[in-house]
Amino acid sequence: MAYLIGLDLGTSVTKGILIDHKGFVIASERSGTKYIRSDDGKVEFDAEEYYVQVAAVIKKLVSSLPDNSRIEAICMSSASGNTVLLDRGQPFIPAISWLDSRVKNETDLVLGDPDPHAIYRTVGWPYIKQFPLAHLCWLNIHMPDTLKKASFICMSTDYINYRLTGRFGMDHSTATTFYLQDQEQKNWNSVLLAKLGIKKTQLPSLHPSGHLLGDVNESAALETGLKPGTKVILGSFDHPSAARGSRVSYISQLLISCGTSWVGLYPLGSREEGIKRNMLVDPFTSSDSNGLYAGMFSIPAIGEKIDSFVSEFISRDKNKYAEFDKLASQSPPGANGVIIDPMAEFDKKYLSQYSKSDLSRAVMEGTAYLLKSKIDDFSKSGLRISSATMVGGPADTMPWPQIVADVLKMDISIINGQHAGAFGAAILAGIGSRIYSNLEDAYSKILFKEIKRIPEKRSANIYEQKYEEFLRRKKNKEG
């Protein structure tokens, strides 16, 4: 029997699963990413160490393969947006994370007072001073000799795929986070490349998600335990992958993806629908016949804010999140009056009045309020929601999903939870290796397990009032 490996290269954690063609998870593994940080906003990591980490996850999955079986293909989704410079195929400086915040006015100096709207229409994501385009501008100003030395420029996912196959390739979904792709033309943006002094030959070739990049080579086989010749398939950005992995691929569905950032994803009939709403636009299944784009909104890096809160006010133990969940379950809806905006500065004097249980629940409720605020805005623009699915680590806990269901006043489905991104990558591995003919065929053959959280009327009524108070407080602070 043929098996598939899907990887989700997240910002903080790499997750991997081994599945059979019916979607049964044989094994799962995970490993944390180590960052190099400094007070000036630097967030970097060692690209070679990162490859070793991912290879170790793959090797553990391979060790769980049943006897007389084979792994047909491997594919990875990723948070992406991490810049890697190579010389003769080797990284010679640390990879720059999308979390890096050193870029100030360097983009203006290099790009010449760029038109944010023009960049947005071309790229598909609103222009911000992060991600590879900004990193490359920063390097152009502060480390020009280093940038000139680079024979090849890519992202961390592309480097992993290169180490596995010896080939450079990037899917159109992941390429969106590079900010150098013309999303409509499905090619590199020659205008931006010229301003950066970069040639197309220095970048990976571009392909649709599910494209066969190549086969695992001899050296990668030794490092990962995969057999030489195992197919390596190009994946996608992590949230569209999670949508595939949780069966969210139809218009009017909503994916709530909870990780380092909390992201809402809507399948859309056209790219223009997302552009006119200023959403993050992904090619999604647009390369397929009658395919769709996906529009996304984000509460960026909220996971890091929550982690900081938990460490400061709840627990610093290794199992601090288990304690966080347990305490939140002990507090009633409304958290006995405390209201917390996880994205705002924490008022220690105010928070000291409440128990750890109330603080834990209030952070969860505040996150759900921020989510509802975003969804309400897009609902006003005409986006209709027929169903909602929650994925990511919080989806597999309690009371997170129930709080989200009560605040949004809608049923919340949980499908593949924290493994949805890796599961979506495994589906693409199956499509690229022709185990499945397309996404619909994969859905017809895979057995999806679904859990539903249904709104509780009393809690929903409490949250309706608390939400209005949350918005008033937020407006007063911002005003």
pLDDT at res. 444? 96
Domain coverage including residue 176: 2-238
β-pair partners for 415: 450
**For residues 321 and 281, is the Cβ–Cβ distance under 8 A?**
no
Per DSSP, the residues of 105-142 read SHHHHHHTS--HHHHHHHHSS---S-HHHHHHHHHHHH
The type of residue at 229 is G
CB 31 within 8 A of CB 13: yes
Which of 179, 209, 238 marks a domain boundary? 238
pLDDT at 43: 97
Residue 73: φ, ψ to 5°: -160, 160
Burial 20-33, CB ≥16 within 10 A → b, else e: bbebebbbbbbbeb
Q: Read off the CATH number of the domain in which 253 is found.
A: 3.30.420.40
Answer yes or no: do 276 and 403 share one domain: yes
Question: For residues 303 and 258, what is the distance between their CA atoms, to the nearest angstrom?
Answer: 8
Q: CB 112: neighbour CB atoms within 10 A?
A: 9
The answer to the question of residue 9 being in a domain is yes
Number of domains in the chain: 2
Strand 262-268 with 253-258, pairing: antiparallel
Do 318 and 289 lie in one domain? The reply is yes
Asked whether residue 198 falls in the same domain as residue 89, the answer is yes
Say if CB 83 and CB 152 are below 8 A apart. Answer: no
What stretches in the chain show pLDDT beneath 50? none
64 and 150 share a domain? yes
Residue 410: its pLDDT value, please?
Answer: 96
**Each residue's pLDDT tens digit, 306-361:** 999 999 999 999 999 999 999 999 999 999 999 999 999 999 999 999 999 999 99
The single residue listed with the structure tokens 């994969």 is 442
Model confidence pLDDT, tens digit, residues 92-111: 999 999 999 999 999 999 99
Q: Are residues 330 and 401 in the same domain?
A: yes
In a domain, 68, yes or no: yes
Domain boundary residue among 221, 238, 255? 238
Q: Please tell me whether residues 184 and 309 are part of one structural domain.
A: no
Residue 79 maps to a domain:
yes
Residues 229 and 356 in one domain: no
Sign of the torsion formed by the C-alpha atoms of 300, 120, 129 and 134: positive
Same domain, 67 and 88: yes
Q: Are residues 316 and 231 in the same domain?
A: no
Strand partners, 2: 70
Tracing tokens 């609902």 back to the chain, one arrives at 379
Given 3-state DSSP classes, what are the helix, strand and coil percentages for the chain, each rounded to the nearest 5? Answer: 45, 20, 35
Question: Whole-prediction pTM value?
Answer: 0.95
* 420 within a domain of the structure (yes/no): no
